[in-house]
Amino acid sequence: MKPAKDISRLLEIMAALRMPVTGCPWDIEQDFQSIKPYTIEEAYEVADAIERGDLDDLRDELGDLLLQVVFHARMAEELGEFSFGDVVEAITAKMIRRHPHVFGTSDADDPTKVKRQWDEIKSEEKRERAARRAKRGITEDFGHGHLGEVPRVLPALVEALKIQQRAAKVGFDWSEPEPILDKIEEEIGEFRTALASGDKARIADELGDLIFAAVNIGRHVGVEPEMALRGTNTKFRRRFAHIETSLAAGGESLDQATLERMEELWQDAKQHETGAAGE
């Protein structure tokens, strides 16, 4: 099979990868839940390529993101739900419907009118979507109520922060940071119990509670959790790079180094940072 610019070739490739017996064992065993993290990751990589202004990377990352769309569509087709063609039809219908000033008879001729018209159409679509969900027996809907304004599509840390901020507006909040520290200690205890049980679902649930509490303490002390975590990620990268370069300077490699040796170099990196900060 050869590459091509026609989308049909990509669809053929995905069908071949998912084909029982002759396909790829890894691709065959995937489902919507297992692929979901990769879909999110690819979207972030598209954003990263844009931020770096790397159009070569952007082309490749858009391809990776398109692959995710094709993957999900293929799995849905196997379930008899919808195909890639249905996905394309749905988005083209939506764009035509939301732009009657371009494709219809609407006289919206300035950004304000277009925005008002767009919101009206989206509201109607939301009602239609709710009706479809009800037909499928899907009753859980977080789009209403006091927390309804917090989008579910946000990164989890950002969503947690905004949920807490909204709840705090009606008084559902701690009055000071100290009780939140007690809550964090309580969550750590529950996490330890979950670990001892070996129940992965329970472990995941308790880990989520612990992270949620950590976001809460950050909010109370004025530290944005997403930025705090990014700072820690950068710090970890820097210290790990120190381990790697120090090992290489001594003719060692990461694969050969013991945990004790890497920890020694980690502490060395920390001391170096502390010394540099005091200079």
C-alpha dist (Å) from residue 12 to 4, 65, 83, 138: 11, 17, 13, 33
Does one domain contain both 28 and 124? yes
Residues 232 and 115 reside in one and the same domain: no
Number of domains in the chain: 3
Mark whether 88 and 15 lie in a shared domain. yes
C-alpha span between 14 and 29 (Å, rounded): 13
Supply the pLDDT for residue 189. Answer: 97
193 in the same domain as 252: no
Low-confidence ranges of the chain (pLDDT < 50): 279
Q: Is 17 domain-assigned?
A: yes
Task: Say yes or no: 70 and 185 in one domain.
Answer: no
Look at residue 130 and tell me if it is in a domain.
Answer: yes
Give a yes or no: residue 103 inside a domain: yes
pLDDT of residue 165: 92
| Residues 216 and 274 occupy one common structural domain | no
Three-state DSSP at 205 gives helix
Share of the chain above pLDDT 70, in %: 96
> Can you give the pLDDT at residue 106?
85
Span 198-223, pLDDT tens digits: 999 999 999 999 999 999 999 999 99
Q: Are residues 12 and 42 in the same domain?
A: yes
The pLDDT value recorded for residue 279 is: 42
115 lies in a domain?
Answer: yes
236 and 217 share one domain = no
* Residue 159 located in a structural domain: no
- Judgement on whether residues 69 and 22 belong to the same structural domain of the protein: yes
Residues 30 and 124 in one domain: yes
Q: How far apart are CA 183 and CA 214, in angstroms?
A: 9
Distant-in-sequence, close-in-space partners of 240: CB < 8 Å, separation ≥ 6: 266
CB atoms within 10 A of CB 206: 21
- Whether 104 is in a domain gets the answer yes
- Find, among 218, 239, 217, the residue nearest to 228 by Cα: 218
219 in any annotated domain: yes
Shared-domain flag, residues 218 and 254: no
CATH number at residue 192: 1.10.287.1080
Whether residue 144 lies inside any domain: the answer is no
Domain that residue 191 falls in: 174-223
pLDDT at 180: 94
At residue 277, the pLDDT reads 59
Q: Are residues 131 and 16 in the same domain?
A: yes
